[in-house]
Amino acid sequence: MSDLLIRPGALADLPRLTEIINHYVVNTHITFDLHPFTPEQRVEWFHEHSDGRRYQLLVAEMPAEGVLGYAATGRFRAKAAYDTTVEASIACSPQATGRGIGTQLYRALFALLAGEDIHRVVAGIAQPNPASNALHERFGFKEVGTFTAVGRKSGKYWDVRWMERPLLL
């Protein structure tokens, strides 16, 4: 993994990032979107996760393989007192899971955010998702609780486990 480059995401990455998320949209319960996106439909998402301060988007790239994953922070809820809480999201391409890339992305993301005016980082993980549970636990997230059956996809209801951590441990 020594060749892995972690860098800020750019608009030019959107086709590849959309391809990655669409795999999980179409084939899994992991994200509650029901229909795949076009890259154009992800432009708003890109800007919501790229303000250069609290909201950051990092991508992981290998020279021979291109972009293999991303991690990002975005707004948690709209009301102003939530400003200091961000919601984290992360995904690696299906061929790139279990290779430590998620760990490197989160390590870089938390390092990047360390000086920002953020008090809590939260993550909602649709269950089951052992890899995401393990990654968030590794990064110090603690379980807050599980909303049961809050999402319906592929004819089933799915639970979401919410986790949180302070920005700095």
Binding stretches for ligand COA (CB under 6 A):
24, 30, 90-92, 97-103, 125, 129-132, 134-135, 138
Helix (H), strand (E), coil (C) string for the chain: CCCCEEEECCHHHHHHHHHHHHHHHHHCCCCCCCCCCCHHHHHHHHHHCCCCCCCCEEEEEECCCEEEEEEEEEECCCCHHHHHEEEEEEEECHHHCCCCHHHHHHHHHHHHHCCCCCCEEEEEEECCCHHHHHHHHHCCCEEEEEEEEEEEECCEEEEEEEEEEECCC
Q: At closest approach, how far in Å is the CB of 57 from ligand COA?
A: 14
Q: At closest approach, how far in Å is the CB of 158 from ligand COA?
A: 12
- Give the Cβ contact number of residue 36 at 10 Å: 14
Strand-pair category, 5-8 with 156-166: unpaired
Residue 79 or 95 having the CB closest to ligand COA = 95
Q: At closest approach, how far in Å is the CB of 98 from ligand COA?
A: 4
Residue 52 or 154 having the CB closest to ligand COA = 154
Residue 68 or 113 having the CB closest to ligand COA = 68
Residue 72 or 91 having the CB closest to ligand COA = 91
Residue 63 or 130 having the CB closest to ligand COA = 130
Q: At closest approach, how far in Å is the CB of 93 from ligand COA?
A: 8
Q: At closest approach, how far in Å is the CB of 58 from ligand COA?
A: 12
Q: Which residue is nearest to ligand COA (CB)?
A: 102
